[in-house]
């Protein structure tokens, strides 16, 4: 029985219990609703909530722990020679789960592992059956208990409203929970990483080559984890992107807001917004297959050696992506400059452009700075364009014609494909993620503060 | 300029100003006229910059759309080759059993190869023969088998059959491989191009609408690869995302807008929502990898995990949009409901939410469109695997449309370039549809209070 079926069953139970709860309340009222404390639907809802809510909570808790408990049970039964070595253990666990899913016939593994695989499959079946039983049982118990409580005197509406209030609070708390989840999961793995590599070396080292040897006999470099080349690469591409996005975005915002006729605006504004809606993977494809070859070939004509993964291509395309972001934010900001300032300027005989340059722009400057900072944070965190169009090798250079790599590119390359947990190589991705999160968070908080302060000034 | 010189100049300027202060300005003087002319020129220039900026942005959009459209439209058609296939009784069903199981196991690939050898009897060498066989796709034998299974009467006959061609042959027919390039620099040698010309002059090469592109899963062979698997994966992922983020987002928005007291908790929630909206998407991928895969041990590459990750990502969008929609409902509605004796919860569920629903739905659709185009977090949780089968549920390994685009863009075969562009067109079509729906909803239900 699949999960969706189980959920449907619980939902059906909820509907049924709502109906019966309501019927019972009507029956108890003796035909006069005014005999009841609340409306009959409230009694129905009361029963339905007691049916569905505990069952759903159980499901969530169950899935949070099922995997780790089953894994612990499997590991406990494996011989010490496998569990002693983390590399062997992760390999064995992989084969076990493969065997449990019915595959792995081609694997040459010890009989213990095959047994464990069969056991895992059995445990999964048992766990699924147990989940079904537990959920249906909790739903039925909930129905029974709450159904018996139905009474004309019961304050069903107040109960239901109290429960729904708590549900709403829990939903709002998810925003906090996910921030906490991000911080803890990044911090946990990053601390793990910093116990192997010193934070100073990570933050200030000049060499990045995370390819460490997985097996002892493998030829690989020792692994250097100096992230400066990544930071420089990220900043270089961000700078190029800003060099495109800020002037173009700002001037389009000015034209849209101050010059354009409403007819022009109604066409051009949605067209600009399309640029924001295009998925980043599309920009990445465009950068890698159209812009980069174009730059390389034209560079060759004028005698420049442009790498086919140049920072310029990725940066230019990223800039195009950010144009609508800058333009809509600065449009917002500039339209909030009070009309009186404009009127004063026109009254003194200034032209439109003089008003914009000497009055509106300085007045809106804090807001525009905030907008640009938000755009910078976006560019730093952007992933797909650079994964597809920027390089992989960590060159410490500020030449936009060469290939550089970025923080996000490295996170992706370190975590996609085969990975061995607990190796410094994999963990370094989390350390990079932590840096990325902190930097973007800092930029955002600062930018939002600036924008907020600016808003208050003219409100 | 030395200090002395600049001081002298300042003095001179000051004198001009003080002289002028006593005189009325002569608005018709050539100096003023020159000045005004200059200012108007600056005005025109400034206006032109603005127009140019919009032009640059629109040009970029145009080039983007043009380059993808021109690269991709050919992928909707596929080259087919007509061959005379002898459905040899001895090769397909030697014992004349007529049993579908026997027919199904027959070597249809051999029949195609034989037909190719008969068409070009001059080909003898081993390598040459291999080149010859690559004219027809490896998938053609399945088509042939299906055809015979459906109509066993074909056995023993000779028929002209259209077979799907291999990717290089397809590229040649679509003009992506030019015969003018030096032989060493192209995927096909002179002999293969001669075969193509021979078949073409027979009228045995044709482009047909490529339905497989819409119905197949992924494949290593570009001519057999399709987007259906990824589309279904996207659907499951979005369903999970919607099922989680819509109720949670709306309830959170209702609480924050209607019920929350102004206290520390509410403040923290609001700050968190604003910040989450700006966290890079890849960080959500790291969260998903750590929490869902490493701690909770949910299955890798499954749409459930993708949906859970994307739900956290779209939650801020939905909350912010829903709050704006709820805020736009005028207080008089609430006061009227409360005055008639409705409880605060009844006021919200019976009056405020239904009135805010169009706005909430618009925000939700926009959030879903974002989730549909998102790639980076899904790479982190292993939705990049090469998956041929169409996923049957939210727990099966799957990939999604944008990740499929990323995977194809990385493939070395020339034919995958057009597949990638075509997949992008399909993805963009979905996004246009969703955003169009959002705009329609907004237009249709927009209310001025």
Q: Which of A188, A248, A441 shows the shortest C-beta gap to B53?
A: A248
Whether residue A237 sits in one domain with residue A114: no
- Dump pLDDT digits (tens) for A95-110: 787 777 777 667 777 7
At residue B185, the pLDDT reads 76
Cα three-residue angle B80-B83-B88, rounded to 5 degrees = 135
B82 sits in which H/E element: strand B77-86
* CATH code of residue A273: 1.10.3720.10
**Where residue A280 falls among pLDDT bands split at 50, 70, 90?**
very high
Q: Do B405 and A282 touch (CB under 8 A)?
A: yes
Q: Looking at residue B154, what DSSP letter applies?
A: G
At residue B1, the pLDDT reads 44
CA A371 to CA A6: how far, in whole Å?
Answer: 47
CA B198 to CA B207: how far, in whole Å?
Answer: 16
**Partners of residue B298 in chain A, C-beta under 8 Å:** 63, 67
Q: Which domain, by its residues, includes A444?
A: 224-458
Domain boundary among A100, A131, A154: A154
Kindly report the nearest CA distance between residue B78 and chain A, in angstroms. Answer: 22
Kindly report the nearest CA distance between residue B56 and chain A, in angstroms. Answer: 7
Q: Which residues pair with B108 in a beta bridge?
A: none
Q: Are B111 and B87 in contact (CB under 8 A)?
A: yes
Q: Is residue A112 part of a domain?
A: yes
Cα three-residue angle B257-B263-B268, rounded to 5 degrees = 80
**Partners of residue A255 in chain B, C-beta under 8 Å:** 47, 50-51, 53-54
- Dump pLDDT digits (tens) for A312-357: 999 999 999 999 999 998 988 888 889 999 999 999 999 999 999 9
Residues 6+ apart with CB under 8 A from B376: A280, A383, A384, A387, A408, A412, B280, B281, B282, B285
- Dump pLDDT digits (tens) for A63-80: 888 888 888 888 888 877
Strands B205-209 and B158-164: unpaired
The b/e string for B305-340 (b: 16+ C-beta within 10 A; e otherwise) is bbbbbbbbbbbbbbbbbbbbbbeebeeeebeebeee
Q: Are A381 and A213 in contact (CB under 8 A)?
A: no
At residue A322, the pLDDT reads 94
Q: Are B240 and B307 in contact (CB under 8 A)?
A: yes
Q: Do A351 and B260 touch (CB under 8 A)?
A: no
CA B52 to CA B59: how far, in whole Å?
Answer: 10
For B265, nearest residue in chain A (alpha carbons): A173
At residue B333, the pLDDT reads 94
Residues 6+ apart with CB under 8 A from B186: B177, B178
Domain boundaries, chain B: 3-71, 74-219, 228-445
**Partners of residue A446 in chain B, C-beta under 8 Å:** none
CA B151 to CA B4: how far, in whole Å?
Answer: 105
**Partners of residue A267 in chain B, C-beta under 8 Å:** none
Give the Cβ contact number of residue B434 at 10 Å: 19
Q: Is residue A142 part of a domain?
A: yes
Q: What are phi and psi of A285, to 5 degrees?
A: -60, -45
Domain boundary among A135, A154, A173: A154
CA distance between the termini of chain B? 65
Whether residue A135 sits in one domain with residue A234: no
Q: Is residue A255 part of a domain?
A: yes
Q: Is residue A170 part of a domain?
A: no
At residue B3, the pLDDT reads 59
Q: 3-state DSSP call for residue B396?
A: coil
Q: Is residue A146 part of a domain?
A: yes
**Partners of residue B409 in chain A, C-beta under 8 Å:** 281, 284-285, 288-289, 388
At residue B4, the pLDDT reads 61
> Chain B interface, mutation test: which of A159, A183, A268, A383, most B Cβ atoms within 10 Å?
A383
CA A62 to CA A269: how far, in whole Å?
Answer: 49
Q: Which of A175, A251, A275 shows the shortest C-beta gap to B273?
A: A175
- Dump pLDDT digits (tens) for A285-313: 999 999 999 999 999 898 888 888 889 99
Domains in chain A, number:
2
Tokens of B94: 């030697």
Q: Which residues pair with B318 in a beta bridge?
A: none
Give the Cβ contact number of residue B35 at 10 Å: 11
pTM of the model: 0.88
Tokens of B74: 């050919």
Q: What are phi and psi of B333, to 5 degrees?
A: -60, -45
- Dump pLDDT digits (tens) for A409-433: 999 988 886 666 667 888 889 999 9
Q: Which of A188, A247, A383 shows the shortest C-beta gap to B281?
A: A383
Q: 3-state DSSP call for residue B136?
A: strand
CA A85 to CA A94: how far, in whole Å?
Answer: 14
Domain boundary among A103, A134, A154: A154
At residue A377, the pLDDT reads 93
- Is the domain spanning B228-445 CATH 1.10.10.10? The answer is no
Tokens of B304: 């459930």
At residue B360, the pLDDT reads 93
Whether residue A374 sits in one domain with residue A241: yes
Q: Is residue A159 part of a domain?
A: no
Q: Are A187 and B286 in contact (CB under 8 A)?
A: no
- Dump pLDDT digits (tens) for A134-175: 999 999 999 999 988 888 888 989 999 999 999 999 999 998
CA A81 to CA B111: how far, in whole Å?
Answer: 54
Tokens of A160: 């239901």
Q: Is residue A448 part of a domain?
A: yes
Q: Is residue A275 part of a domain?
A: yes
pLDDT in tens, chain B (449 residues): 455 666 666 667 666 666 666 677 777 888 889 999 999 999 999 999 999 999 999 999 999 999 999 988 888 999 998 888 888 888 787 777 777 788 878 888 888 888 888 888 888 888 888 888 888 888 888 888 888 888 888 888 888 888 898 888 888 888 888 777 777 777 788 888 888 888 888 888 888 898 889 998 888 888 889 999 999 999 999 999 999 999 999 999 999 999 989 888 888 888 889 888 889 999 999 999 988 988 888 888 889 999 999 999 999 999 999 999 999 999 999 999 999 999 999 999 999 999 999 999 999 999 999 999 999 999 998 888 888 888 888 888 899 999 999 999 988 888 899 999 999 999 999 999 999 998 888 888 877 76
């Amino acid at each position: 029985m699949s999960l969706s079926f189980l959920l449907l069953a619980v939902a059906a139970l909820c509907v049924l219990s709502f109906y019966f709860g309501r019927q019972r309340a009507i029956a108890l009222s003796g035909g006069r609703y005014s005999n009841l404390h609340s409306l009959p639907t409230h009694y129905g809802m009361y029963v339905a909530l007691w049916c569905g809510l505990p069952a759903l909570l159980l499901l969530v808790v169950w899935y949070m722990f099922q995997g780790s408990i089953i894994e612990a049970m499997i590991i406990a039964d494996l011989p010490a020679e496998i569990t002693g070595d983390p590399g062997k253990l992760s390999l064995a666990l992989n084969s076990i789960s493969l065997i449990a899913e019915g595959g792995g016939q081609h694997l040459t593994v010890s009989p213990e592992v095959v047994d464990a695989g069969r056991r895992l499959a059995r445990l999964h079946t048992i766990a699924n059956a147990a989940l079904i039983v537990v959920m249906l049982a909790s739903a039925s118990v909930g129905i029974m208990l709450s159904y018996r409580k139905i009474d004309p005197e019961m304050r069903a509406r107040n109960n239901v409203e109290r429960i729904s209030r708590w549900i709403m609070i829990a939903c709002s708390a998810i925003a906090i929970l996910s921030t906490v989840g991000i911080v803890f999961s990044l911090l946990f793995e990053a601390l793990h990483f910093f116990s192997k590599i010193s934070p100073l070396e990570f933050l200030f080292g000049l060499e990045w080559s995370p390819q460490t040897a997985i097996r002892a006999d493998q030829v690989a470099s020792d692994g250097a984890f100096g992230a400066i080349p990544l930071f420089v690469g990220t900043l270089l591409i961000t700078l190029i992107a800003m060099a495109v996005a800020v002037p173009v975005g700002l001037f389009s915002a000015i034209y849209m807001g101050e010059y354009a006729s409403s007819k022009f605006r109604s066409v051009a504004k949605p067209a600009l917004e399309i640029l924001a809606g295009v998925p980043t993977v599309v920009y990445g494809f465009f950068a890698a297959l159209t812009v980069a070859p174009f730059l390389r070939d034209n560079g060759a004509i004028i005698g420049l050696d442009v790498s086919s993964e140049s920072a310029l291509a990725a940066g230019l395309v990223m800039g195009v992506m950010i144009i609508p972001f800058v333009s809509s934010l600065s449009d917002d900001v500039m339209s909030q400059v009070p009309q009186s300032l404009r009127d004063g300027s026109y009254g003194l005989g200034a032209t439109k452009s003089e008003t914009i340059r000497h009055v509106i722009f300085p007045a809106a400057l804090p807001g525009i700075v905030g907008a640009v900072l938000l755009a910078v944070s976006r560019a730093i965190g952007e992933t797909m364009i650079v994964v597809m169009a920027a390089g992989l090798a960590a060159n410490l250079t500020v030449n936009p014609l060469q290939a550089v790599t970025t923080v996000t590119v490295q996170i992706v390359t370190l975590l996609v494909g085969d990975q061995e947990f607990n190796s410094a190589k994999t963990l370094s991705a989390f350390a990079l993620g932590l840096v990325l999160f902190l930097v973007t968070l800092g930029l955002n908080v600062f930018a939002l503060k600036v924008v907020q302060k600016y808003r208050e000034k003219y409100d | 300029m030395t200090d002395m010189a600049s001081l002298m100049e300042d003095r001179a300027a000051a004198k001009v100003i003080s002289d002028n202060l006593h005189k009325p300005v002569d608005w018709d003087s050539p100096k003023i006229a020159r000045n005004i002319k200059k200012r108007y020129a600056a005005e025109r220039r400034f206006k032109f910059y603005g127009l140019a900026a919009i032009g640059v942005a629109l040009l970029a959009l145009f080039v983007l759309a043009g380059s993808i459209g021109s690269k991709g439209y050919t992928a909707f058609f596929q080259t087919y080759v007509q061959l005379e296939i002898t459905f040899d009784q001895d090769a397909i069903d030697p014992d004349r059993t007529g049993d579908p199981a026997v027919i199904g196991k027959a070597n249809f690939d051999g029949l195609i190869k034989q037909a190719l050898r008969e068409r070009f009897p001059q080909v003898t060498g081993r390598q040459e023969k291999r080149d010859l066989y690559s004219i027809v796709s490896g998938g053609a034998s399945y088509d042939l088998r299906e055809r015979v299974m459906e109509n066993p009467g074909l056995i023993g006959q000779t028929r002209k059959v259209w077979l799907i061609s291999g990717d290089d042959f397809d590229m040649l027919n679509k003009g992506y491989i030019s015969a003018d390039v030096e032989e060493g620099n192209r995927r096909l040698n002179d002999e293969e191009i001669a075969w193509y010309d021979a078949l073409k002059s027979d009228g045995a090469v044709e482009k047909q609408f490529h339905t497989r592109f819409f119905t197949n899963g992924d494949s290593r062979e570009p001519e057999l690869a399709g987007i259906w698997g990824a589309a279904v994966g996207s659907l499951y992922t979005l369903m999970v995302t919607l099922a989680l983020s819509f109720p949670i987002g709306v309830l959170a928005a209702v609480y924050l807008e209607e019920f929350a007291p102004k206290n520390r908790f509410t403040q923290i929630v609001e700050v968190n929502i604003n910040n989450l909206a700006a966290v890079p998407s890849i960080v959500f991928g790291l969260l998903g990898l750590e929490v869902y895969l490493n701690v909770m041990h949910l299955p890798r590459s499954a749409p459930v995990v993708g949906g859970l990750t994307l739900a956290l990502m779209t939650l801020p969008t939905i909350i912010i949009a829903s709050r704006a929609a709820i805020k736009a409902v005028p207080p008089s509605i609430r006061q009227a409901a409360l005055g008639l004796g409705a409880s605060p919860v009844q006021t919200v569920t019976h009056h405020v939410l239904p009135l805010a629903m169009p706005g909430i739905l618009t925000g939700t659709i926009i959030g879903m469109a974002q989730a549909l185009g998102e790639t980076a977090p899904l790479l982190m949780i292993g939705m990049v695997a090469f998956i041929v089968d169409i996923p049957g549920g939210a727990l099966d390994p799957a990939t999604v449309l944008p990740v499929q685009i990323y995977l194809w863009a990385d493939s070395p075969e020339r034919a995958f370039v057009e597949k990638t562009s075509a997949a992008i067109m399909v993805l963009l079509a979905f996004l246009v549809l969703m955003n169009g729906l959002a705009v329609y909803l907004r237009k249709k239900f927009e209310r001025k209070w």
